[in-house]
Structure 1
Amino acid sequence: MFLQLKKRKTSTKKFAGAKRRQVFSPLRQVCSQPSWRMVLHTNEVFSNQRKFTEKLAILIVRGNVACAVPMIILAGLMFFLKRRSPQYIYITWSDKNDWIAFMAFFIFETLTKAINISQFFLSQTWFLFAVAYLIIGISTVSTFLDHLPRQISYFRCLFLLNQAHNRCYPVTMLPVRFLFYFEFLIISAFVLIRLFTQINTTERAIMTELFFAFIISSFLVLHISGKMFKDSESLKWKLFQRAASLAGWEGKIWRKTAKSLQSFGVRVGSIRCISYAALSAFYITTTSVLTTVLVTFTDH
Protein backbone atom coordinates (compact mmCIF):
# COMPACT_ATOMS: atom_id res chain seq x y z
CA MET A 1 0.00 0.00 0.00
CA PHE A 2 2.85 2.35 0.86
CA LEU A 3 4.48 1.63 -2.51
CA GLN A 4 1.21 2.35 -4.31
CA LEU A 5 0.85 5.69 -2.55
CA LYS A 6 4.45 6.55 -3.36
CA LYS A 7 3.98 5.66 -7.02
CA ARG A 8 0.77 7.70 -7.15
CA LYS A 9 2.52 10.72 -5.61
CA THR A 10 5.40 10.39 -8.06
CA SER A 11 3.04 10.18 -11.02
CA THR A 12 1.14 13.24 -9.75
CA LYS A 13 4.37 15.24 -9.56
CA LYS A 14 5.34 14.14 -13.07
CA PHE A 15 1.91 15.14 -14.37
CA ALA A 16 2.14 18.57 -12.68
CA GLY A 17 5.60 19.14 -14.14
CA ALA A 18 4.43 18.11 -17.60
CA LYS A 19 1.42 20.40 -17.27
CA ARG A 20 3.62 23.37 -16.36
CA ARG A 21 5.92 22.65 -19.30
CA GLN A 22 2.91 22.42 -21.60
CA VAL A 23 1.53 25.76 -20.39
CA PHE A 24 4.77 27.73 -20.57
CA SER A 25 6.32 26.07 -23.63
CA PRO A 26 4.75 28.63 -26.04
CA LEU A 27 6.35 31.40 -24.00
CA ARG A 28 9.79 29.78 -24.19
CA GLN A 29 9.44 29.10 -27.91
CA VAL A 30 8.45 32.65 -28.79
CA CYS A 31 11.08 34.27 -26.58
CA SER A 32 13.78 32.05 -28.08
CA GLN A 33 12.97 33.05 -31.64
CA PRO A 34 15.68 35.12 -33.35
CA SER A 35 13.05 37.46 -34.78
CA TRP A 36 11.80 38.28 -31.27
CA ARG A 37 15.31 39.09 -30.07
CA MET A 38 16.03 41.11 -33.18
CA VAL A 39 12.87 43.14 -32.68
CA LEU A 40 13.73 43.80 -29.06
CA HIS A 41 17.15 45.18 -29.96
CA THR A 42 16.58 46.92 -33.28
CA ASN A 43 12.99 48.10 -33.36
CA GLU A 44 12.77 51.86 -33.00
CA VAL A 45 9.38 51.60 -31.33
CA PHE A 46 10.80 49.33 -28.67
CA SER A 47 13.68 51.75 -28.17
CA ASN A 48 11.18 54.48 -27.39
CA GLN A 49 9.28 52.11 -25.13
CA ARG A 50 12.49 51.28 -23.29
CA LYS A 51 13.17 54.95 -22.64
CA PHE A 52 9.64 55.36 -21.38
CA THR A 53 10.12 52.27 -19.19
CA GLU A 54 13.23 53.73 -17.61
CA LYS A 55 11.47 57.00 -16.85
CA LEU A 56 8.47 55.17 -15.43
CA ALA A 57 10.68 52.95 -13.26
CA ILE A 58 12.55 55.97 -11.90
CA LEU A 59 9.26 57.72 -11.18
CA ILE A 60 7.86 54.70 -9.33
CA VAL A 61 11.00 54.28 -7.23
CA ARG A 62 11.30 57.96 -6.37
CA GLY A 63 7.62 58.21 -5.53
CA ASN A 64 7.70 55.28 -3.12
CA VAL A 65 10.97 56.46 -1.56
CA ALA A 66 9.49 59.94 -1.13
CA CYS A 67 6.55 58.37 0.70
CA ALA A 68 8.54 55.90 2.82
CA VAL A 69 11.51 57.94 4.06
CA PRO A 70 9.56 60.90 5.55
CA MET A 71 7.16 58.46 7.17
CA ILE A 72 10.03 56.61 8.89
CA ILE A 73 11.59 59.89 10.08
CA LEU A 74 8.27 61.19 11.40
CA ALA A 75 7.56 57.90 13.18
CA GLY A 76 10.90 58.12 15.00
CA LEU A 77 10.31 61.78 15.82
CA MET A 78 6.87 60.94 17.15
CA PHE A 79 8.34 58.50 19.66
CA PHE A 80 11.00 61.01 20.66
CA LEU A 81 8.39 63.67 21.45
CA LYS A 82 5.67 61.46 22.94
CA ARG A 83 7.57 58.57 24.42
CA ARG A 84 5.08 58.19 27.29
CA SER A 85 2.08 57.68 25.04
CA PRO A 86 0.09 54.48 25.69
CA GLN A 87 0.90 53.01 22.26
CA TYR A 88 4.59 52.62 23.16
CA ILE A 89 6.11 49.90 25.34
CA TYR A 90 8.36 52.51 26.92
CA ILE A 91 5.46 53.63 29.11
CA THR A 92 6.00 50.52 31.26
CA TRP A 93 9.56 51.60 32.09
CA SER A 94 9.54 53.29 35.49
CA ASP A 95 12.87 55.15 35.37
CA LYS A 96 12.32 58.21 33.20
CA ASN A 97 15.94 59.38 33.50
CA ASP A 98 17.50 56.19 32.18
CA TRP A 99 18.83 57.32 28.80
CA ILE A 100 20.25 53.92 27.95
CA ALA A 101 16.81 52.36 28.21
CA PHE A 102 15.33 55.27 26.28
CA MET A 103 17.81 54.83 23.43
CA ALA A 104 17.18 51.08 23.38
CA PHE A 105 13.43 51.63 23.11
CA PHE A 106 13.96 54.42 20.56
CA ILE A 107 16.08 52.18 18.33
CA PHE A 108 13.56 49.36 18.71
CA GLU A 109 10.57 51.52 17.80
CA THR A 110 12.32 53.23 14.90
CA LEU A 111 13.71 49.98 13.53
CA THR A 112 10.39 48.15 13.66
CA LYS A 113 8.58 51.07 12.03
CA ALA A 114 11.28 51.32 9.36
CA ILE A 115 11.03 47.60 8.56
CA ASN A 116 7.23 47.65 8.33
CA ILE A 117 7.04 50.83 6.26
CA SER A 118 9.88 49.77 3.95
CA GLN A 119 8.31 46.35 3.43
CA PHE A 120 4.97 47.92 2.57
CA PHE A 121 6.34 50.31 -0.02
CA LEU A 122 8.84 47.78 -1.37
CA SER A 123 6.09 45.27 -2.10
CA GLN A 124 4.05 48.07 -3.65
CA THR A 125 6.99 49.06 -5.86
CA TRP A 126 7.45 45.46 -6.99
CA PHE A 127 3.75 45.21 -7.83
CA LEU A 128 3.80 48.43 -9.85
CA PHE A 129 6.93 47.28 -11.70
CA ALA A 130 5.34 43.96 -12.63
CA VAL A 131 2.13 45.53 -13.90
CA ALA A 132 3.97 48.31 -15.74
CA TYR A 133 6.15 45.68 -17.44
CA LEU A 134 3.07 43.98 -18.86
CA ILE A 135 1.51 47.28 -19.93
CA ILE A 136 4.65 48.22 -21.83
CA GLY A 137 4.67 44.76 -23.40
CA ILE A 138 1.08 45.24 -24.56
CA SER A 139 1.82 48.64 -26.07
CA THR A 140 4.94 47.27 -27.77
CA VAL A 141 3.10 44.33 -29.31
CA SER A 142 0.27 46.59 -30.49
CA THR A 143 2.75 48.74 -32.44
CA PHE A 144 4.50 45.84 -34.18
CA LEU A 145 4.12 45.91 -37.96
CA ASP A 146 4.33 42.15 -38.02
CA HIS A 147 2.18 39.35 -39.34
CA LEU A 148 -0.88 38.36 -37.34
CA PRO A 149 0.16 34.87 -36.11
CA ARG A 150 3.22 36.26 -34.37
CA GLN A 151 1.23 39.03 -32.73
CA ILE A 152 -1.26 36.48 -31.41
CA SER A 153 1.64 34.41 -30.04
CA TYR A 154 3.01 37.48 -28.27
CA PHE A 155 -0.43 38.23 -26.84
CA ARG A 156 -0.66 34.70 -25.45
CA CYS A 157 2.79 35.06 -23.91
CA LEU A 158 1.71 38.25 -22.15
CA PHE A 159 -1.42 36.44 -20.97
CA LEU A 160 0.74 33.68 -19.47
CA LEU A 161 3.01 36.23 -17.80
CA ASN A 162 -0.03 37.89 -16.28
CA GLN A 163 -1.31 34.56 -14.98
CA ALA A 164 2.08 33.85 -13.43
CA HIS A 165 2.13 37.31 -11.85
CA ASN A 166 -1.34 36.87 -10.35
CA ARG A 167 -0.20 33.63 -8.74
CA CYS A 168 2.85 35.25 -7.15
CA TYR A 169 0.91 36.60 -4.19
CA PRO A 170 -2.02 35.37 -2.06
CA VAL A 171 -5.55 35.97 -3.27
CA THR A 172 -6.29 38.13 -0.23
CA MET A 173 -3.27 40.42 -0.58
CA LEU A 174 -4.81 43.13 -2.75
CA PRO A 175 -8.20 43.22 -0.96
CA VAL A 176 -6.40 43.65 2.36
CA ARG A 177 -4.17 46.34 0.86
CA PHE A 178 -7.15 48.25 -0.52
CA LEU A 179 -8.83 47.98 2.88
CA PHE A 180 -5.63 49.35 4.41
CA TYR A 181 -5.68 52.30 2.00
CA PHE A 182 -9.33 52.91 2.77
CA GLU A 183 -8.96 52.85 6.56
CA PHE A 184 -5.94 55.14 6.70
CA LEU A 185 -7.46 57.61 4.27
CA ILE A 186 -10.55 57.87 6.48
CA ILE A 187 -8.55 58.12 9.71
CA SER A 188 -6.01 60.65 8.45
CA ALA A 189 -8.66 62.84 6.81
CA PHE A 190 -10.83 62.76 9.93
CA VAL A 191 -7.92 63.71 12.20
CA LEU A 192 -6.86 66.56 9.92
CA ILE A 193 -10.39 67.95 9.73
CA ARG A 194 -11.84 67.35 13.18
CA LEU A 195 -8.78 67.14 15.45
CA PHE A 196 -6.44 69.56 13.72
CA THR A 197 -6.31 72.01 16.63
CA GLN A 198 -5.80 69.26 19.22
CA ILE A 199 -2.62 67.72 17.80
CA ASN A 200 0.91 69.07 17.59
CA THR A 201 2.95 69.90 14.51
CA THR A 202 4.59 66.47 14.27
CA GLU A 203 1.25 64.68 14.41
CA ARG A 204 -0.12 67.01 11.75
CA ALA A 205 2.85 66.22 9.54
CA ILE A 206 2.34 62.48 10.07
CA MET A 207 -1.36 62.65 9.25
CA THR A 208 -0.69 64.77 6.17
CA GLU A 209 2.02 62.36 5.03
CA LEU A 210 -0.29 59.38 5.56
CA PHE A 211 -3.13 61.00 3.67
CA PHE A 212 -1.11 61.95 0.61
CA ALA A 213 0.95 58.74 0.61
CA PHE A 214 -2.08 56.48 0.62
CA ILE A 215 -4.17 58.53 -1.76
CA ILE A 216 -1.30 58.51 -4.27
CA SER A 217 -0.58 54.81 -3.69
CA SER A 218 -4.21 53.79 -4.10
CA PHE A 219 -4.51 55.88 -7.26
CA LEU A 220 -1.37 54.37 -8.80
CA VAL A 221 -2.33 50.78 -8.02
CA LEU A 222 -5.93 51.11 -9.20
CA HIS A 223 -5.08 53.20 -12.25
CA ILE A 224 -2.29 50.96 -13.51
CA SER A 225 -4.42 47.85 -12.90
CA GLY A 226 -7.31 49.31 -14.86
CA LYS A 227 -4.97 50.40 -17.64
CA MET A 228 -3.64 46.89 -18.12
CA PHE A 229 -7.15 45.50 -18.55
CA LYS A 230 -8.12 48.29 -20.95
CA ASP A 231 -4.94 47.93 -23.03
CA SER A 232 -5.27 44.15 -23.27
CA GLU A 233 -8.90 44.54 -24.32
CA SER A 234 -7.90 47.09 -26.97
CA LEU A 235 -5.12 44.86 -28.28
CA LYS A 236 -7.47 41.89 -28.41
CA TRP A 237 -9.99 43.91 -30.43
CA LYS A 238 -7.22 45.17 -32.72
CA LEU A 239 -6.08 41.62 -33.43
CA PHE A 240 -9.65 40.57 -34.14
CA GLN A 241 -10.06 43.44 -36.61
CA ARG A 242 -6.86 42.43 -38.39
CA ALA A 243 -8.08 38.84 -38.54
CA ALA A 244 -11.46 39.99 -39.88
CA SER A 245 -9.72 41.76 -42.75
CA LEU A 246 -8.22 38.48 -43.99
CA ALA A 247 -10.09 36.55 -46.64
CA GLY A 248 -10.45 32.86 -47.36
CA TRP A 249 -10.17 29.87 -45.10
CA GLU A 250 -7.03 31.26 -43.48
CA GLY A 251 -8.89 34.39 -42.44
CA LYS A 252 -11.67 32.26 -40.98
CA ILE A 253 -9.18 30.31 -38.87
CA TRP A 254 -7.46 33.42 -37.57
CA ARG A 255 -10.79 35.08 -36.80
CA LYS A 256 -11.70 32.15 -34.59
CA THR A 257 -8.26 32.22 -33.00
CA ALA A 258 -8.43 35.96 -32.29
CA LYS A 259 -11.94 35.59 -30.92
CA SER A 260 -10.72 32.95 -28.46
CA LEU A 261 -8.17 35.32 -26.91
CA GLN A 262 -8.95 36.52 -23.40
CA SER A 263 -8.25 39.96 -22.03
CA PHE A 264 -6.27 39.95 -18.80
CA GLY A 265 -5.53 42.13 -15.82
CA VAL A 266 -4.85 42.22 -12.09
CA ARG A 267 -6.77 39.69 -10.02
CA VAL A 268 -8.35 40.99 -6.82
CA GLY A 269 -9.83 38.24 -4.67
CA SER A 270 -12.47 36.38 -6.66
CA ILE A 271 -12.53 39.08 -9.36
CA ARG A 272 -10.58 37.86 -12.38
CA CYS A 273 -9.38 41.34 -13.34
CA ILE A 274 -10.35 44.87 -12.36
CA SER A 275 -11.04 47.80 -14.67
CA TYR A 276 -11.10 51.57 -14.38
CA ALA A 277 -14.50 51.27 -12.69
CA ALA A 278 -12.72 50.13 -9.52
CA LEU A 279 -10.87 53.46 -9.37
CA SER A 280 -14.01 55.58 -9.31
CA ALA A 281 -15.82 53.11 -7.04
CA PHE A 282 -13.00 53.22 -4.48
CA TYR A 283 -12.89 57.01 -4.22
CA ILE A 284 -16.67 57.38 -4.29
CA THR A 285 -16.97 54.90 -1.41
CA THR A 286 -14.15 56.57 0.51
CA THR A 287 -15.70 60.02 0.11
CA SER A 288 -19.13 58.73 1.12
CA VAL A 289 -17.85 57.01 4.26
CA LEU A 290 -15.70 60.00 5.21
CA THR A 291 -18.70 62.31 4.87
CA THR A 292 -20.76 60.00 7.06
CA VAL A 293 -18.05 59.89 9.72
CA LEU A 294 -17.63 63.67 9.71
CA VAL A 295 -21.38 64.21 10.05
CA THR A 296 -21.67 61.61 12.81
CA PHE A 297 -18.70 62.81 14.89
CA THR A 298 -18.94 66.58 14.98
CA ASP A 299 -16.96 69.07 17.04
CA HIS A 300 -19.77 69.54 19.53
Structure 2
Amino acid sequence: MKNKFFKLSVATVLMLSKSAFAATIYAECDYCSTPYSFQAKAEAISYEVGGRNNTVFVENKRSLEVQKYKVITFLEEPGMPIEISVSNLAMTQDEKATFSKLQSQRDGIQRAFTNLGDVPTDIADSAYDLVGNSSRENRTIDWYRENANIDWLISDHISLALSTFSIFNSPNVIVDITFKDGSVARFKITGVTTLGKLTYKMVSAIDANKNNIPLTKEGYTSGSFNFTNDPSGSLSEFIDAASRMGIPITGGIGGATGGIGGAKMTCKEIAGNLECVITYQIK
Protein backbone atom coordinates (compact mmCIF):
# COMPACT_ATOMS: atom_id res chain seq x y z
CA MET A 1 0.00 0.00 0.00
CA LYS A 2 1.95 2.95 -1.29
CA ASN A 3 -0.63 5.74 -1.15
CA LYS A 4 -0.27 7.89 1.92
CA PHE A 5 -2.83 10.11 3.51
CA PHE A 6 -1.15 13.28 4.62
CA LYS A 7 -2.61 16.23 6.39
CA LEU A 8 -0.06 18.79 7.41
CA SER A 9 -1.28 21.27 9.91
CA VAL A 10 -0.27 22.36 13.37
CA ALA A 11 -2.23 22.79 16.54
CA THR A 12 -2.62 26.31 17.81
CA VAL A 13 0.65 27.01 19.59
CA LEU A 14 0.04 30.49 20.93
CA MET A 15 -3.33 31.87 21.96
CA LEU A 16 -3.94 35.49 22.86
CA SER A 17 -6.30 36.56 25.60
CA LYS A 18 -9.68 37.99 24.65
CA SER A 19 -8.43 41.44 25.62
CA ALA A 20 -5.37 41.29 23.36
CA PHE A 21 -5.11 44.24 21.01
CA ALA A 22 -3.86 42.66 17.81
CA ALA A 23 -2.68 39.40 16.29
CA THR A 24 -1.53 37.98 12.96
CA ILE A 25 -3.61 34.83 12.47
CA TYR A 26 -3.36 31.90 10.07
CA ALA A 27 -6.36 29.62 9.43
CA GLU A 28 -6.89 26.88 6.90
CA CYS A 29 -10.25 26.45 5.19
CA ASP A 30 -10.42 23.69 2.57
CA TYR A 31 -14.12 24.36 1.93
CA CYS A 32 -13.56 28.07 1.21
CA SER A 33 -14.03 28.84 -2.48
CA THR A 34 -15.96 32.12 -2.65
CA PRO A 35 -15.15 35.61 -1.34
CA TYR A 36 -17.97 35.22 1.19
CA SER A 37 -16.67 31.90 2.58
CA PHE A 38 -13.11 33.22 2.96
CA GLN A 39 -14.36 36.37 4.68
CA ALA A 40 -16.71 34.44 6.96
CA LYS A 41 -13.82 32.19 8.06
CA ALA A 42 -11.62 35.22 8.78
CA GLU A 43 -14.34 36.85 10.86
CA ALA A 44 -15.13 33.66 12.77
CA ILE A 45 -11.53 32.80 13.65
CA SER A 46 -10.78 36.39 14.67
CA TYR A 47 -13.76 36.42 17.01
CA GLU A 48 -12.77 33.00 18.40
CA VAL A 49 -9.21 33.95 19.37
CA GLY A 50 -10.00 37.52 20.45
CA GLY A 51 -8.20 40.74 19.69
CA ARG A 52 -9.59 44.03 18.40
CA ASN A 53 -7.37 44.66 15.38
CA ASN A 54 -6.34 41.40 13.75
CA THR A 55 -4.73 40.53 10.43
CA VAL A 56 -6.05 37.18 9.24
CA PHE A 57 -4.71 34.95 6.43
CA VAL A 58 -7.11 32.23 5.25
CA GLU A 59 -5.74 29.46 3.01
CA ASN A 60 -7.46 26.74 1.03
CA LYS A 61 -4.73 24.10 0.89
CA ARG A 62 -6.41 22.23 -1.94
CA SER A 63 -6.58 25.18 -4.33
CA LEU A 64 -3.61 27.04 -2.72
CA GLU A 65 -5.69 30.22 -2.66
CA VAL A 66 -4.83 32.63 0.15
CA GLN A 67 -6.85 35.68 1.19
CA LYS A 68 -5.77 38.38 3.64
CA TYR A 69 -8.15 40.36 5.85
CA LYS A 70 -8.11 43.10 8.43
CA VAL A 71 -10.69 42.30 11.11
CA ILE A 72 -11.52 45.11 13.55
CA THR A 73 -13.79 44.45 16.52
CA PHE A 74 -15.24 47.55 18.10
CA LEU A 75 -15.51 47.72 21.86
CA GLU A 76 -18.80 46.48 23.20
CA GLU A 77 -21.18 48.95 24.79
CA PRO A 78 -23.57 47.68 27.47
CA GLY A 79 -26.70 46.36 25.79
CA MET A 80 -25.29 46.79 22.28
CA PRO A 81 -24.30 44.03 19.82
CA ILE A 82 -20.64 43.51 18.85
CA GLU A 83 -19.62 45.38 15.71
CA ILE A 84 -17.01 43.78 13.41
CA SER A 85 -15.47 45.32 10.31
CA VAL A 86 -13.80 42.97 7.79
CA SER A 87 -11.70 44.29 4.90
CA ASN A 88 -10.01 42.25 2.18
CA LEU A 89 -6.38 43.37 1.75
CA ALA A 90 -3.80 42.82 -0.97
CA MET A 91 -0.88 40.62 0.09
CA THR A 92 2.62 42.07 -0.03
CA GLN A 93 5.36 40.45 -2.13
CA ASP A 94 7.05 39.22 1.06
CA GLU A 95 3.82 37.61 2.25
CA LYS A 96 3.32 35.93 -1.12
CA ALA A 97 6.89 34.61 -0.95
CA THR A 98 6.31 33.24 2.55
CA PHE A 99 3.19 31.35 1.49
CA SER A 100 4.98 30.04 -1.58
CA LYS A 101 7.71 28.66 0.67
CA LEU A 102 5.19 27.14 3.10
CA GLN A 103 3.42 25.43 0.21
CA SER A 104 6.73 24.17 -1.21
CA GLN A 105 7.64 22.73 2.20
CA ARG A 106 4.33 20.87 2.32
CA ASP A 107 5.01 19.42 -1.13
CA GLY A 108 8.41 18.19 0.05
CA ILE A 109 6.86 16.49 3.07
CA GLN A 110 4.22 14.88 0.86
CA ARG A 111 6.95 13.42 -1.41
CA ALA A 112 8.75 12.02 1.63
CA PHE A 113 5.56 10.19 2.64
CA THR A 114 4.94 8.88 -0.86
CA ASN A 115 8.39 7.27 -1.01
CA LEU A 116 8.23 5.68 2.43
CA GLY A 117 6.55 2.32 1.76
CA ASP A 118 5.26 -0.16 4.37
CA VAL A 119 6.68 -1.00 7.79
CA PRO A 120 9.07 -3.99 7.50
CA THR A 121 7.57 -7.23 8.83
CA ASP A 122 10.49 -7.76 11.22
CA ILE A 123 9.20 -4.68 13.07
CA ALA A 124 5.45 -5.31 12.75
CA ASP A 125 3.21 -7.27 10.40
CA SER A 126 0.14 -5.22 11.16
CA ALA A 127 -1.18 -2.17 13.01
CA TYR A 128 -2.75 -4.76 15.34
CA ASP A 129 0.78 -5.60 16.55
CA LEU A 130 1.08 -2.13 18.07
CA VAL A 131 -2.03 -2.48 20.25
CA GLY A 132 -1.03 -3.01 23.86
CA ASN A 133 2.61 -3.28 22.80
CA SER A 134 4.56 -0.07 23.45
CA SER A 135 7.81 -1.71 22.35
CA ARG A 136 6.45 -2.40 18.85
CA GLU A 137 4.93 1.06 18.69
CA ASN A 138 8.27 2.66 19.60
CA ARG A 139 10.15 0.53 17.07
CA THR A 140 7.65 1.56 14.38
CA ILE A 141 8.15 5.24 15.20
CA ASP A 142 11.94 4.81 15.21
CA TRP A 143 11.77 3.17 11.76
CA TYR A 144 9.54 5.97 10.54
CA ARG A 145 11.93 8.67 11.80
CA GLU A 146 14.94 7.01 10.21
CA ASN A 147 13.32 6.37 6.83
CA ALA A 148 10.82 9.16 6.28
CA ASN A 149 13.48 11.74 7.15
CA ILE A 150 10.84 14.41 7.60
CA ASP A 151 11.32 15.54 11.20
CA TRP A 152 13.50 18.40 10.05
CA LEU A 153 11.13 19.21 7.17
CA ILE A 154 8.17 19.51 9.52
CA SER A 155 10.22 21.41 12.11
CA ASP A 156 11.31 23.92 9.44
CA HIS A 157 7.71 24.29 8.30
CA ILE A 158 6.49 24.93 11.85
CA SER A 159 9.35 27.37 12.54
CA LEU A 160 8.55 29.42 9.44
CA ALA A 161 4.85 29.46 10.30
CA LEU A 162 5.42 30.56 13.89
CA SER A 163 7.85 33.28 12.82
CA THR A 164 5.17 34.63 10.47
CA PHE A 165 1.98 34.28 12.49
CA SER A 166 1.33 34.93 16.17
CA ILE A 167 -1.50 32.40 15.97
CA PHE A 168 -1.28 29.37 13.66
CA ASN A 169 -4.77 27.98 14.03
CA SER A 170 -5.27 24.60 12.45
CA PRO A 171 -5.93 20.91 13.28
CA ASN A 172 -3.14 18.61 14.42
CA VAL A 173 -0.31 17.19 12.35
CA ILE A 174 -1.46 13.66 11.45
CA VAL A 175 0.65 11.01 9.69
CA ASP A 176 -0.44 7.59 8.44
CA ILE A 177 1.92 4.60 8.56
CA THR A 178 0.97 1.54 6.49
CA PHE A 179 1.67 -2.16 7.01
CA LYS A 180 2.05 -5.15 4.68
CA ASP A 181 -1.36 -6.57 5.61
CA GLY A 182 -3.10 -3.39 4.43
CA SER A 183 -3.73 -1.95 7.87
CA VAL A 184 -2.94 1.67 8.71
CA ALA A 185 -1.90 3.29 12.00
CA ARG A 186 -2.52 7.00 12.38
CA PHE A 187 -0.15 9.04 14.55
CA LYS A 188 -0.41 12.57 15.88
CA ILE A 189 2.66 14.72 16.41
CA THR A 190 2.52 15.73 20.07
CA GLY A 191 5.63 17.86 20.52
CA VAL A 192 9.36 18.28 20.07
CA THR A 193 12.12 16.89 22.32
CA THR A 194 15.04 18.97 23.60
CA LEU A 195 17.11 17.27 20.86
CA GLY A 196 14.75 18.55 18.17
CA LYS A 197 13.01 15.22 17.50
CA LEU A 198 9.26 15.19 16.97
CA THR A 199 7.23 13.01 19.35
CA TYR A 200 4.32 10.88 18.16
CA LYS A 201 1.26 9.18 19.65
CA MET A 202 -0.94 6.60 17.93
CA VAL A 203 -4.49 7.93 17.93
CA SER A 204 -6.35 5.49 15.66
CA ALA A 205 -5.92 2.58 13.26
CA ILE A 206 -7.89 0.59 10.68
CA ASP A 207 -7.37 -2.89 9.30
CA ALA A 208 -7.63 -4.18 5.73
CA ASN A 209 -11.33 -4.92 6.35
CA LYS A 210 -11.93 -1.27 7.26
CA ASN A 211 -12.58 -2.14 10.90
CA ASN A 212 -11.50 0.49 13.39
CA ILE A 213 -8.78 -1.22 15.46
CA PRO A 214 -9.50 -0.62 19.16
CA LEU A 215 -6.50 0.90 20.96
CA THR A 216 -7.94 0.43 24.45
CA LYS A 217 -9.99 -2.23 26.20
CA GLU A 218 -12.95 0.13 26.21
CA GLY A 219 -12.70 0.42 22.43
CA TYR A 220 -13.80 -3.19 22.02
CA THR A 221 -17.29 -2.30 23.25
CA SER A 222 -17.95 -0.57 19.90
CA GLY A 223 -19.83 -3.64 18.67
CA SER A 224 -19.15 -5.91 15.69
CA PHE A 225 -16.02 -6.41 13.58
CA ASN A 226 -16.23 -8.12 10.19
CA PHE A 227 -13.42 -10.07 8.52
CA THR A 228 -13.76 -10.98 4.83
CA ASN A 229 -10.31 -9.99 3.49
CA ASP A 230 -7.87 -12.74 4.61
CA PRO A 231 -10.25 -13.74 7.44
CA SER A 232 -7.86 -16.23 9.05
CA GLY A 233 -4.92 -13.81 9.21
CA SER A 234 -6.91 -10.68 10.13
CA LEU A 235 -8.89 -12.54 12.75
CA SER A 236 -5.72 -13.95 14.27
CA GLU A 237 -4.27 -10.44 14.57
CA PHE A 238 -7.48 -9.22 16.23
CA ILE A 239 -7.46 -12.11 18.71
CA ASP A 240 -3.80 -11.51 19.63
CA ALA A 241 -4.48 -7.79 20.22
CA ALA A 242 -7.56 -8.55 22.32
CA SER A 243 -5.56 -11.08 24.33
CA ARG A 244 -2.95 -8.42 25.19
CA MET A 245 -5.85 -6.31 26.49
CA GLY A 246 -7.00 -9.20 28.69
CA ILE A 247 -10.24 -9.76 26.74
CA PRO A 248 -11.51 -13.38 26.58
CA ILE A 249 -12.42 -14.73 23.11
CA THR A 250 -14.94 -17.54 22.63
CA GLY A 251 -16.53 -19.25 19.64
CA GLY A 252 -14.33 -22.08 18.36
CA ILE A 253 -10.90 -20.55 17.98
CA GLY A 254 -8.86 -22.88 15.83
CA GLY A 255 -11.91 -24.97 15.05
CA ALA A 256 -12.43 -23.48 11.61
CA THR A 257 -9.29 -22.74 9.63
CA GLY A 258 -9.20 -23.65 5.94
CA GLY A 259 -12.41 -22.90 4.11
CA ILE A 260 -13.41 -19.87 6.13
CA GLY A 261 -15.47 -17.55 3.95
CA GLY A 262 -15.48 -14.81 6.56
CA ALA A 263 -15.86 -14.18 10.25
CA LYS A 264 -17.62 -11.78 12.55
CA MET A 265 -16.47 -10.75 16.00
CA THR A 266 -19.06 -9.33 18.40
CA CYS A 267 -17.87 -7.81 21.66
CA LYS A 268 -20.11 -6.94 24.60
CA GLU A 269 -20.15 -6.69 28.35
CA ILE A 270 -21.46 -9.75 30.18
CA ALA A 271 -21.94 -9.47 33.94
CA GLY A 272 -19.55 -6.54 34.01
CA ASN A 273 -16.88 -8.34 31.98
CA LEU A 274 -16.03 -7.71 28.33
CA GLU A 275 -16.21 -10.77 26.08
CA CYS A 276 -15.82 -11.23 22.32
CA VAL A 277 -17.55 -14.03 20.41
CA ILE A 278 -16.52 -15.31 16.95
CA THR A 279 -19.06 -16.39 14.35
CA TYR A 280 -17.57 -18.17 11.31
CA GLN A 281 -18.95 -18.23 7.78
CA ILE A 282 -17.89 -21.51 6.19
CA LYS A 283 -17.51 -21.80 2.42
TM (normalized to structure 2)?
A: 0.25
TM (normalized to structure 1)?
A: 0.24
Greater fraction of residues in helix:
1
Greater fraction of residues in strand:
2
Structure with the larger RCO, 1 or 2 (CA within 8 Å, 6+ apart): 1
